[in-house]
Structure 1
């Protein structure tokens, strides 16, 4: 593990997770990115070919942050997804590559004719 977090804080609007590491690196991770890149098998599958493109999460919020041992946190989202365990290294990777991962997500949505916007029920 490259660096341990020194602070993990959920923004008041529940749409950004702030994480700072002992080496001085800090990131503001969007809830949408965390949700669509969840390390859960539901999203990632069991190999790269099974990764799902999750639409409709532009407004998703984080409703829970729970520690998992000394190595990770479990995030719960308002769409009831709560099976991803976010290890410190994975959070660091998401922070360092957020722009590229977000663009890859947007490209995948576009290629599949999907939208970031949630489906509105009438």
Structure 2
């Protein structure tokens, strides 16, 4: 690993995780990006062709950030997804490629006729 996080801070509205690295790089990662790009098998599947497009996460919030050893954090989202462990390198990658990943996500939603909007309760 080329850099180490010096600060991980959740915004007051719980929709942005701020990560600063020891080389000065700093990223604001949206909860939506983190949820739809979770490294969990539930999202990524068990192979490169199995990734799932998760709709309805525009307003998702992070309700818990827990350290995992000295290499990662486990995030719990308000939809109760909590199986993704986010290593430092992956957080860095999301910070550097997040805009492209969100655009790919939006394109996948459109192609599948899905929406970012949460399902309405009746």
TM-score clears 0.5: yes
Q: Once superposed, which parts of structure 1, at least 4 consecutive aligned residues long, lie more than 6 Å away?
A: none
- The alignment's TM-score, normalised by the length of structure 2, stands at 0.99
Q: Report the RMSD for the aligned CA atoms in angstroms.
A: 0.3
Deviation at 1:48, TM superposition (A): 1.1
1:27-42 residue pairs with structure 2 within 5 A?
A: 27-42=27-42
> Could you tell me which residue of structure 1 aligns to residue 11 of structure 2?
11
The alignment of Structure 1 onto Structure 2 pairs a total of residues equal to 122
- The alignment's TM-score, normalised by the length of structure 1, stands at 0.99
1:80-119 residue pairs with structure 2 within 5 A?
A: 80-119=80-119
In 1, Cα distance between equivalents of 2:32 and 2:74: 15
Structure 2 residue ranges without an equivalent (≥5)? none
In 1, Cα distance between equivalents of 2:105 and 2:69: 30
Structure 1 residue ranges without an equivalent (≥5)? none
